[in-house]
Structure 1
Amino acid sequence: MPSSAASKTSGHGRLAEVARLAAVSPATVSRAFNAPNLLSAETLKRVTDAANRLNYIPDGLARSLRKNRSMVIGAVMPALRHAYFASTVEGLQSEIAKHGYTLLLAVSDFSEAAELTAVRSMIRQGVDGFVLVGMQHEPSLLPLLRDLKKPFVITWSYDQIVASVGFDHRKAIQPAINHLLDLSHRDIVATMAFLNVSDRERERLAGIQEAFANRGLPFSDDRVIYAGGSGLQDGRNAFRTAQARFPKATAVICANDLLAAGTMMECAARGLSVPGDMSVVGYGDLDIAAAMNPAITTIRTPADEMGRLAAQCLMGKLSGRVGLEHIELATELIVRGSTGPANSSESTQRISR
């Protein structure tokens, strides 16, 4: 990380710092950014690594970023194949357009390294600020944005320190668990998609465990089924695993509505009635949740509103206004036909295998 004094040096001075760190000439550093094909792979890597360590951006663009505005906002989303993040993008796009900004969008596919690469590329293209998702990032990402004085807003997670517009996933999912427990379900499994790369999903799982603990009930780790993805087929596959492990389970809570819909499809294929034999809960309230038969009980999350508020927060930062930067949104349990009472008195007494 460069010192504050170093970050204030001229563009030529910082280019020289990169050259010294990479053990090459300043001309070689210039070629690395303007004609990288003229350098060997080893030399190009040395220069790129040194530039990254020093948060260096080429002179002309750095000057334009300090003095001017590109009127472009950069957003990096984990995925767009499903409607959750797409709705946030739509809200973001519609709001920044009111201020004369356009959106430059990238998808990380839940990769921290890909997210960092996308952000660096957008910085080189002169974007004015960033909208990101969640609190899990490559460790150098947020310090990079701060060092370059690039305003940013986190979405889909709420944080009291970092500028954010989101909600508490741990708190959001607990009404769904309490709903199942109130219906006398005890033999419950949870289907998760991206626990290893999603802080939001880990918080949901923590909320499930906490809701059980608050009732004095256990929820063992083996009751978490890893779907390996977030689509309909992933939901079907995960339910097959759940049935093999816990054939007497009476309810499934899923990390999103698509997993829940896939679970219901697999139930139908196995001749299981929803909710007569199996209650199913989703998360997110996508259109498919209301369209399924029966419709899916789920947690409604304000994805579109989140995008609009994140844009408003970022516009305030760019204009120098001091405003609200930590916005916690409300979520809501939507009870529909996919949940009902546990199917036997025996199941209400069954806590674990």
Structure 2
Amino acid sequence: MVKPSGPVTGTQALSTINPDHPLPRKNRSSNSDGRTRLPVAQDVAELAGVSIATVSRALNEPEKVRPATREAVMKAAAELGFVLNSAARALSTRRSSTVGVIVPSYGNEVFVRALSSFQRTMRAAGYQVLAASSEYDLATEMQEVTFLLQRGVDGLMLVGGIHDPALYARAERSQVPIIQSFSLSDREYCVGFDNREATFRAANYLLDLGHKRLAVVTGTRENNDRAAPRAEGCASAMAERGLELSPAHDLIVSSGIVAGRDAFSQLMGGPEEQRPTAIICGTDEIALGIMSEASERGIDIPRALSVIGFNDSSFSAVLSPPLTTIRVDADEIGKSSALALLNLMGAKTMVQVTRITPELVLRGTVAPPDKL
């Protein structure tokens, strides 16, 4: 499990001090036998000149306390070295001020960007984020969800719509809402985009330029409802024009740059008249691998081969040539998922499906085919 660090906020509640980081002696009170003790709520109340109940409200439900009183309580708590603890708050309010996120992989930049945006939004609302990676394995994801539920998270964000059915039942029993991200679903609350439509548009752009032999290369399609629709989008665009996506041009590879290099070797190893003139990739990393292998073999991109990536990763614009790619606004997905989950946890009504529109970013890796 990964628990991103962040400042403790006023929405979290009281706690004892971590013994590994004891308070300075001047901030500690003394027992009758002369031993020091950790400050408690009563000490804060006495210093701030308020009741213990007011201290509790100021730290647990600050919106219910006048600003001046809240400031006095926070100042007294800081002076005494009194710290806040979400565990104590969870016992009294049945809310932990934590939410869980499970992504398929930390190796995909788009998931990391979405997670960062999600965390920023949640932190601003007073929540901490516990994150984990499933590595595209449903059993691993179930283990992580079980752990998060045992930790008492108030909500969950999951990627995609393929999950163990028992996961939803377990979350429902715990009364923990789930928001789905990166793909669309009529069954669950979700923030995502139409993966099929994204590559359908990209394929049509290539076909309009005169390409007839397209290829598509994606990562694993097992437990992944994003990769397969991307291949389907390309095939559908070709079918509408009386063309067929050859099975030899529809590849499933492992993720990463090396996988892209291997894919290039498979696609370009046959007779020239059978090779694709354009390749749509399921990720920018795969596209980078294809570009790298093409460069080593002296194949000019885009004159001899057009390449389109997916995600608009941070390196895409600085490649030579710059990569044409399908941009997914990962920051918006993360932010919108956080806001949607906050609404669900607050029992507020919300739109069940929030649709994000991908954008085809034209750069330097696409051109009309040199030879048809």
Q: What range is the shorter-chain TM-score in?
A: 0.7 to 0.9
Q: Distance in 2 between matches of 1:170 and 1:65?
A: 45
- Matching of residue 178 in structure 1 with residue 204 in structure 2: yes
- What is residue 132 of structure 1 aligned with on the other side? 158
Query: What SS class does the counterpart of residue 324 from structure 1 fall into?
Result: coil
Of the structure 1 ranges 235-244 and 266-275, higher mean CA displacement relative to structure 2 is found in: 235-244
Query: Counterpart amino acid of 1:135?
Result: G
On the 8 A contact 2:249/2:276 being kept in 1, the answer is no
- Matching of residue 291 in structure 1 with residue 318 in structure 2: yes
Query: Counterpart amino acid of 1:230?
Result: S
Partner of residue 309 from structure 1, selected from 327, 336, 358: 336
Change (3 A) 1:108 1:323: same
**Structure 2 unaligned runs (5+)?**
1-86
Q: Structure 1 residue 246: deviation in Å?
A: 6.0
On the 8 A contact 1:260/1:282 being kept in 2, the answer is yes
Partner of residue 154 from structure 1, selected from 180, 188, 196: 180
Partner of residue 72 from structure 1, selected from 98, 104, 127: 98
**Structure 1 unaligned runs (5+)?**
1-60, 348-353
Partner of residue 101 from structure 1, selected from 127, 150, 159: 127
- Matching of residue 84 in structure 1 with residue 102 in structure 2: no
Query: What SS class does the counterpart of residue 283 from structure 1 fall into?
Result: strand
- Matching of residue 232 in structure 1 with residue 232 in structure 2: no
Q: Between Structure 1 and Structure 2, how many residues are aligned?
A: 282
Query: Counterpart amino acid of 2:362?
Result: V
Aligned residue runs from structure 1 range 21-32, under 5 A: none
Q: Distance in 2 between matches of 1:246 and 1:174?
A: 27
Q: Structure 1 residue 245: deviation in Å?
A: 4.2
Query: Counterpart amino acid of 2:200?
Result: Q
Larger Rg over CA atoms = 2
Q: Sequence identity, in percent?
A: 32
Aligned residue runs from structure 1 range 168-317, under 5 A: 168-227=194-253, 229-245=254-270, 247=272, 248-317=275-344
Q: Structure 1 residue 324: deviation in Å?
A: 2.1
- Matching of residue 329 in structure 1 with residue 356 in structure 2: yes
Q: Structure 1 residue 329: deviation in Å?
A: 0.8
Partner of residue 369 from structure 2, selected from 323, 342, 349: 342
Q: Distance in 1 between matches of 2:198 and 2:206?
A: 14
Q: Distance in 2 between matches of 1:114 and 1:238?
A: 28
**TM-score using structure 1 length:** 0.77
**TM-score using structure 2 length:** 0.73
Change (3 A) 1:245 1:133: farther
Change (3 A) 1:237 1:159: same
Q: Distance in 2 between matches of 1:66 and 1:222?
A: 60
On the 8 A contact 2:100/2:130 being kept in 1, the answer is yes
Q: Structure 1 residue 222: deviation in Å?
A: 2.5
On the 8 A contact 1:84/1:284 being kept in 2, the answer is yes
Query: Counterpart amino acid of 1:334?
Result: V
Change (3 A) 1:314 1:341: same
On the 8 A contact 2:149/2:174 being kept in 1, the answer is no
Aligned residue runs from structure 1 range 37-52, under 5 A: none
